[in-house]
Amino acid sequence: MLARRAFRRAAPFTRRDASRLIVASTILVAVLAAVLAIDILPSRLSLFPSHFTADVGELAPDDVISPRTIEFTSEIETEAAREAARAGVPPQYGYTPERGQLSA
């Protein structure tokens, strides 16, 4: 059987509904402002510091973990490895005057 009315009329928007809307909007704006304020604060004032700051020569109070791995070529270690490789190779050519006379 079909209903007699296809659509029901919406309840009228009352003063009570308006006050609820205003209170909910105010709470939402306050919460969003608080979240953004915490995110904008400098790390020293923030509740959850995102990075570590220290002065030169000062010991770190906690372990510092890098957010990513980077690779670089150390000139000092590269030169030390080259010197070790040079020292590890035996002489291949021994020049003496007698050998020079034989090849001439």
The pLDDT value recorded for residue 42 is: 64
Where are the chain's structural domains? Answer: 14-47
* Distance set, CA 79 to CA 10, 11, 91 (Å): 83, 84, 20
Q: What amino acid is encoded at 24 in this protein?
A: A
Q: What is the pLDDT of residues 40-58, one digit of tens each?
A: 776 555 555 556 677 888 8
Question: Which of the residues in the chain have pLDDT under 70?
Answer: 1-6, 42-52, 104
Rounded distance, CA 93 to CA 100, Å? 12
Question: CB neighbours (10 Å) of residue 53?
Answer: 9
The pLDDT value recorded for residue 33 is: 94
Using alpha carbons only, what angle is made at residue 77 by residues 73 and 86, rounded to the nearest 5 degrees? Answer: 120
